[in-house]
Chains A and B, each alone.
Chain A
């Protein structure tokens, strides 16, 4: 006797949709987990990006052509005006630059007198934003310099005013810049006015930044400029990052709420500078039991 309840299949169509759904969903979830947690798949990603990048180039072609057409039909009048403006700018910059060089010279001498390590100069290469992130959840841009131009993950990206972000992923011809406004992106900073050290975090859903864990009593004011402190060894010291725009001090909370706006045109420009790697800082010493009696006793007191 054959089983009549089982339907006879004329055509073999492989596993049923439900089976496929479960299989591919589990596969996707597995990939998500591996990618979010361990980042093993970067080489696969850059291999696949070679497939996708022609489509992406094609998508940005209209705007590039439009710009080139605009460049072609530019008038002589506006060129002369721009040239004049640039000349004036150049003269004032040159005066400042000579002053800067004198100061740098002086700083070097003072540092060698005090036996401090010298601050190294920075090399930068110009890169163009190829396209902005199309994912509304993320604050990233892709720039036109990749592994071919010796860009490495972790390098700092600036514009003419201040910090814009950091390279997080490198493809063969492109690299991905995470902007400082990305959620939880941290930059160690100093308040320019009084040297107060703190860390500025991106908010993610707005183009604002915030200072967390600032005690209510801390000396910070509206309009304070935050510059990089350089204590992490990644961001070079002294580059402007943000400006404080709002401070809420509520006695019910231990920390003040400090809102800042980035100084650099994080969402604006087309050209960015990728700074070269900083010289490595000496390794952080491993915490060893100290020899002095005071810290010993404080440690034992802590254990109790």
Chain B
């Protein structure tokens, strides 16, 4: 059987731990900007997008445990119940771990349709927990999973560029 070279070479580029940690911190920061009203409803969950990116691109380094820990930090930052983000991000990371072989063979457009399912699941779990605790659902909140999905491609291109830059610098 001939070796099938992945169509998407991005997956194999190296990523330093510093880059991973910085990207997660920046995502937490972006989530923490003072969003209000409609913008809060439309705000993509930057942390979820970044965590899914690393779970699919570096599944051996960023996995379910780390996602759970980041979820706990997000819970503290949002003053939500302990475990609310953590549960959502655990499912997100599991989805990422399941999908990372498939995503390797897809280009960005095809990936976008695949990751939508995972984001939708994450958002539904978060809304479900809230419904259990407080008894109502803010429906426009689910719009966020659409914007998160739309963010996937730009984020992928940006991270790819940054990682390529590091490879080039090392080559010189």
User: Which residues on A are within 8 Å of B, measured CB to CB?
Assistant: 13, 17-18, 20-21, 24-25, 27-32, 34-36, 41, 44-45, 48-49, 51-52, 55-56, 58-60, 62-63, 131-138, 140, 142, 169, 176, 183, 204-205
The contact string, 1 if C-beta is below 8 Å from chain A, for chain B 22-44, is 00010011111111100011010
Asked whether B73 lies within 8 Å of A51 as measured between CB atoms, the reply is yes
Interface of chain B residues 126 through 145 with chain A (CB within 8 A): 129-130, 133-136, 138, 140-141
Known A-B contacts A20-B64, A48-B72; the reply to A28 vs B79 at CB < 8 A is no
In contact, A28 and B71 (Cβ under 8 angstroms)? yes
Task: Please give the distance in Å from A55's CB to the nearest CB on chain B.
Answer: 5
Residues of chain B from 73 to 93 with CB closer than 8 A to chain A in the complex: 73, 76-84, 86-87, 90-91
Q: Are the C-beta atoms of B79 and A135 separated by less than 8 Å?
A: yes
Q: What residues of chain B lie closer than 8 Å to A35, measured between beta carbons? A: 81-83
Q: How far is the CA of A63 from the CA of B35 in the complex (A)?
A: 11
**B119 contacts the other chain (CB 8 A):** no
Chain B residue at smallest Cβ distance from A57: B32
How many whole Å from A127's CB to the nearest CB in chain B? 16
B98 x A17 contact (CB < 8 A): yes
Q: Which residues of B contact A183 (CB under 8 A)?
A: 134-136
Partner of B68, one of A24, A51, A135: A24
The distance in angstroms between the C-alpha atoms of A42 and B13, with both chains bound, is: 42
- Residues of chain A within 8 A of B33, CB atoms compared: 59, 62
Closest B residue to A168 by beta carbon equals B79
Determine if B138 and A205 form an interchain contact, defined as CB atoms under 8 angstroms apart.
yes
Given contacts A21-B91, A48-B73, A183-B136, contact A132 B34 (CB under 8 A): yes
Closest to B63 in A: A20
CA distance A215 to B97 in the complex (A): 57
Whether A59 pairs with B29 at a CB distance below 8 angstroms is yes
User: In this assembly, does B94 line the interface, its C-beta being within 8 Å of a C-beta of chain A?
Assistant: yes
Using a CB–CB cutoff of 8 Å, the interface residues on chain B facing chain A are 25, 28-36, 40-41, 43, 60, 63-65, 68, 71-73, 76-84, 86-87, 90-91, 94, 97-98, 129-130, 133-136, 138, 140-141
Q: Which residues of chain B come closer than 8 Å to A27, judged between CB atoms?
A: 68, 83, 86
* Residue contact B79 to A59, C-beta cutoff 8 Å: no
Decide: A31 and B32 in contact? CB cutoff 8 A: no
Partner of A63, one of B30, B34, B71, B91: B34
Assess whether B29 is in contact with A55, with CB atoms less than 8 Å apart: yes
Contact, CB under 8 Å: A137 / B141: yes
Which of B36, B64, B72 has most A Cβ within 10 Å? B64
In the bound complex, do residue B90 and residue A28 qualify as a contact, i.e. CB atoms below 8 Å apart?
A: yes
A111 to nearest B CB, angstroms? 41
CA distance A169 to B41 in the complex (A): 25
Note all chain B residues with C-beta closer than 8 A to A133: 78-79
Given A31-B83, A131-B34, also A205-B136 (CB < 8 A)? yes
List the B side residues contacting A31 at CB < 8 Å: 81-83, 86
A-side binding surface: helix, strand, loop or mixed? Answer: helix
- Whether A59 pairs with B32 at a CB distance below 8 angstroms is yes
By Cβ-Cβ distance, the 5 closest A-B pairs, closest first, are A31-B83, A59-B32, A28-B87, A28-B83, A32-B83
State whether A60 touches B81 (Cβ < 8 A): no
- Min Cβ gap A144→B in Å is 14
Closest to A45 in B: B76
Whether the Cβ atoms of A32 and B129 lie closer than 8 Å is yes
A20-B64, A58-B32 known; 12 new pairs, CB 8 Å cut-off, are A17-B98, A20-B65, A21-B90, A21-B94, A27-B86, A28-B71, A32-B133, A135-B79, A135-B80, A169-B79, A176-B79, A204-B136
| Min C-beta distance of A146 to chain B, whole Å | 13
A155–B20 Cα gap in the complex (Å)?
A: 41
Cβ–Cβ contact B87 & A59, under 8 A: no
Return chain A residues, CB-CB under 8 Å to B80.
135, 138
Instruction: Give A58 to B30 CA distance when docked, in angstroms.
Output: 10
Q: A55-B28, A55-B32, A137-B138 are in contact. Are A25 and B84 (CB under 8 A)?
A: no
Are A142's CB and B79's CB within 8 A?
A: yes
Known: A136-B138, A137-B141, A183-B135. A24 touches B64 (CB 8 A): yes
CA distance A125 to B31 in the complex (A): 30
Q: 24 A-B pairs, CB-CB below 8 angstroms?
A: A17-B94, A21-B64, A24-B65, A24-B86, A24-B90, A25-B90, A25-B91, A28-B83, A31-B86, A32-B81, A34-B82, A35-B81, A59-B29, A59-B34, A132-B36, A134-B35, A135-B79, A135-B80, A136-B40, A136-B140, A136-B141, A137-B130, A169-B79, A183-B135
